């Protein structure tokens, strides 16, 4: 299996691992066991949705020790530029070099809504910081001992419905690429036609794009996402299939595999976000023909 | 104008737990406009405290509690009543409480919470806000401040969470970056959005000590012995 960085530009397959709330890591070790050799890398989310969990870096370290290459997700919500740089150097010292730079969900949406948000660096500043560290210096221009080799990536929401939201995404993508983003992972894609349009609109950027897919668990989940997750629109046909299906889990996996088959010729990879059902990923990938 | 709201009465009672005698001090400025510290609210507070068995040694409302010279001159005739109290319950914004505490040799307790108005405003009411960041980026954002109009104060574009033009953090308000987009589009200046903006220099947001007295009224200069 290629390493994550070697796979970029060919067809990269990544998935997502969400740390649990607490310090029991047995589940993470099991997930690593199931996924290793099946995906190029697994993203580890960073206090996703502003809900407190086990840290992303230590989870990455455990995945790596168990044979699964990690992508460290880091948000700017909980860290200022000193903490961000220090965490990045710590990651490099552990041999964790793939980093997904995120602004972060707002803290009031999580389970500690009273927390103080930081947002010292936005995601573009953050990517620029990765490039600065790669040049052997910190943001203050001071020399580092040892030069890291980060492969920084970013997210993009290709389904933004309104003109302004969509154009703002494209412009920000260009900015992210200009300061050194090496890959993009997208919000969940269900509408291949709209996604094809997005790929055409961003062809000039020339950075590999990994399309996000989320296995549906029920028709209700699809309707919920349509209503509440900006940029996600699950077509009625899938909602109908989920509603009819007896084995919802299987149907959701089947739809995901179909989507991946369709995405294979459109972009440079897929990012399977199966939070809570990580162990289904190998079967989905096998069914879609990318494994 | 500074906006305040009265603390829950239970919280006020807890803060007065060990004070049997209380002097009530209101403010006829912003606190009266906020309906938290005008004469009417002072009167109501007096009744409520007396119903709880407290002795109110006296009460008044000063024109502007934020002006220490006024606090002192207005309270001089009431000195005995103030000093007879275990504490002074100040019904105003946080500045009024601080100015009172700096002027009165009795414990001053806050009866109100000061409500955020979202950074500095102009002298006339308006929706524009400035965080006084010390390094203005309005040139890149069509004259709309990303620090105050974007809930995450993002400098380099939208977070992607806006839904139907509404901010993901505060759906009651429009996404600041979409406002910036449309403003720049109208001006034919969308290219401005491609300029990379460096992280803010927060050191520039520290308040220089020497500007603090210069923002006070003349009378306060004299009081502080810092007349120009
Ligand atoms: S960019 Fe800074 S100085 Fe300019 S309006 Fe916004 S907060 Fe004020
Ligand atoms: S939705 Fe718009 S205003 Fe709200 S945090 Fe995101 S970019 Fe800022």
**CA angle, B27 then B32 then B35, to 5°:** 130
Rounded to the nearest angstrom, the distance between the alpha carbon of B113 and the centre of ligand 1 is 26
Contact of A71 with chain B, judged by CB distance below 8 Å, is answered with no
The secondary structure of residue B200, as a DSSP letter, is: P
Contact of A285 with chain B, judged by CB distance below 8 Å, is answered with no
The first and second tokens of residue B107, run together, are 């414990």
What pLDDT sits at residue B60?
Answer: 97
**Helices and strands counted in chain A (H then E):** 11, 8
Compute the average pLDDT of residues A53-76. Answer: 97
Q: What percent of chain A has pLDDT over 90?
A: 95
Top pLDDT among B6 and A1 is at B6
Q: Which domain holds residue A154?
A: 4-288
What pLDDT sits at residue B98?
Answer: 93
Burial environment of residue B191 by CB neighbours within 10 A (0 to 12, 13 to 18, 19 or more):
exposed
Q: Is B93 in the pocket of ligand 1 (CB under 6 A)?
A: no
Question: At B226, is the pLDDT very low, low, confident or very high (cuts 50, 70, 90)?
Answer: very low
CA distance A2 to B167: 40
Residue listed under structure tokens 């502003």:
A50
Whole-number mean pLDDT of chain A?
A: 96
What pLDDT sits at residue A139?
Answer: 98
B14: left (phi over 0), alpha (psi -120 to 50) or beta: alpha
Of all protein residues, whose CA lies closest to atom 4 belonging to ligand 1? B136
Nearest to A17 by CA among A65, A66, A72, A67: A72
Q: Which residue in chain A is spatially nearest to B147 when comparing CA positions?
A: A119
Q: How many domains does chain A fold into? A: 1
What pLDDT sits at residue A230?
Answer: 87
> Using the beta-carbon criterion (under 8 Å), do B157 and A124 form an inter-chain contact?
yes
Contact A184, A253 (CB under 8 A): no
β-pairing, A98-102 vs A70-75, is parallel
Question: At B222, is the pLDDT very low, low, confident or very high (cuts 50, 70, 90)?
Answer: very low
CA distance A287 to A281: 10
What pLDDT sits at residue B124?
Answer: 78
Contact of B137 with chain A, judged by CB distance below 8 Å, is answered with no
How is domain B1-135+200-223 classified at the CATH fold level? Rossmann fold (3.40.50)
The first and second tokens of residue A83, run together, are 């903490």
> Is A79's pLDDT higher than 50?
yes
> Using the beta-carbon criterion (under 8 Å), do B152 and A168 form an inter-chain contact?
no
pLDDT (tens digit per residue) in A128-185:
999 999 999 999 999 999 999 999 999 999 998 789 999 999 999 999 999 999 999 9
Q: Is B162 in the pocket of ligand 2 (CB under 6 A)?
A: yes
In CATH, what number is assigned to the domain containing residue A80?
Answer: 3.20.20.220
Residue listed under structure tokens 């200022």:
A80
> Is B78's pLDDT higher than 70?
yes
Ligand 2, closest atom to CA B152? 5
Compute the average pLDDT of residues B69-92. Answer: 95
> Is B217's pLDDT higher than 60?
no
CA distance A119 to B197: 14
What pLDDT sits at residue B228?
Answer: 37
Q: How far from B158 is each of A71, A112, A167, A223, CA to CA, in Å?
A: 24, 24, 10, 25
Compute the average pLDDT of residues A62-66. Answer: 98
Query: Each residue of A163-173: b (16+ CB within 10 Å) or e?
Result: ebbbbbbbbbb
What pLDDT sits at residue B213?
Answer: 66
**CA angle, B132 then B137 then B141, to 5°:** 125
> Is A96's pLDDT higher than 60?
yes
Q: Is B166 in the pocket of ligand 2 (CB under 6 A)?
A: no
What pLDDT sits at residue A101?
Answer: 98
Question: At B130, is the pLDDT very low, low, confident or very high (cuts 50, 70, 90)?
Answer: very high
What pLDDT sits at residue A276?
Answer: 87
CB count within 10 Å of CB B59 equals 21
Sketch the domain layout of chain B as residue ranges. 1-135+200-223, 145-194
pLDDT (tens digit per residue) in A252-287:
999 999 999 999 999 999 999 998 899 999 999 999
The secondary structure of residue B160, as a DSSP letter, is: S
């Amino acid at each position: 299996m290629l390493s994550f960085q070697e796979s970029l530009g060919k067809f990269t397959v990544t998935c997502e691992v969400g740390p649990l709330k607490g310090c029991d890591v047995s589940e993470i070790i099991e997930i690593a066991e199931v996924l290793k050799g099946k995906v190029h890398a697994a993203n580890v989310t960073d206090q996703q949705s502003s809900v407190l969990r086990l840290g992303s870096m230590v989870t990455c370290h455990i995945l790596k020790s168990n044979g699964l290459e990690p992508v460290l997700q880091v948000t700017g919500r909980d860290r200022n530029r000193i903490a961000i740089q220090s965490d990045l150097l710590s990651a490099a010292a552990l041999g964790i070099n793939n980093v997904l730079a995120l602004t972060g969900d707002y803290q009031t949406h999580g389970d500690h809504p009273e927390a103080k948000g930081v947002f010292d660096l936005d995601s573009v500043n953050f990517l620029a910081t990765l490039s600065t560290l790669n040049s052997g210096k910190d943001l203050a221009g001071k020399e580092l001992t040892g030069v890291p080799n980060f492969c920084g990536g970013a997210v993009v929401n290709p389904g933004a419905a309104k003109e302004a939201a969509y154009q703002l995404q494209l412009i920000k993508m260009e900015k992210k690429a200009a300061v050194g983003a090496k890959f993009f992972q997208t919000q969940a894609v269900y509408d291949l036609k709209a996604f094809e349009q997005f790929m055409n609109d961003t062809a000039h950027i020339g950075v590999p794009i990994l399309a996000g897919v989320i296995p549906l668990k029920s028709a209700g989940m699809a309707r919920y996402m349509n209503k509440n997750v900006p940029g996600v629109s699950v077509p009625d046909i899938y909602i109908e299939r989920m509603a009819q299906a007896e084995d919802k889990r299987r149907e959701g996996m089947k739809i995901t595999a179909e989507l991946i088959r369709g995405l294979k010729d459109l972009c440079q990879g897929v990012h399977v976000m199966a939070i809570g059902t990580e162990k289904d990923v190998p079967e989905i990938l096998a069914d879609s023909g990318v494994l | 104008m500074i906006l305040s709201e009265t603390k829950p009465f239970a919280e006020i009672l807890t803060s007065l737990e060990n004070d049997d005698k209380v002097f009530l001090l209101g403010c006829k400025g912003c606190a009266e406009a906020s309906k938290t510290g005008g004469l009417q609210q002072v009167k109501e507070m007096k009744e409520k405290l007396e119903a709880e068995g407290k002795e109110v040694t006296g009460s008044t409302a000063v024109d502007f509690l934020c002006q220490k010279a006024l606090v002192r001159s207005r309270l001089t005739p009431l000195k005995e009543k103030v000093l007879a109290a275990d504490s002074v319950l100040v019904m105003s914004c946080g500045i009024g409480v601080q100015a009172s505490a700096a002027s009165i040799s009795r414990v001053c307790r806050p009866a109100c919470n000061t409500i955020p108005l979202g950074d500095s405003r102009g002298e006339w009411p308006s929706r524009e806000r400035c965080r006084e960041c010390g390094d203005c980026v309005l040139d890149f954002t069509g004259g709309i401040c990303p620090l105050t109009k974007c809930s995450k104060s993002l400098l380099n574009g939208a977070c992607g969470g806006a839904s139907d033009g509404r901010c993901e953090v505060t759906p009651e308000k429009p996404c600041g970056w979409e406002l910036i987009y449309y403003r720049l589009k109208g001006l034919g200046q969308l290219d401005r959005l491609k300029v990379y903006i460096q992280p803010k220099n927060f050191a520039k947001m520290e308040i220089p000590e020497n500007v603090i007295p210069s923002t006070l009224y003349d009378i306060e200069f004299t009081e502080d012995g810092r007349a120009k």
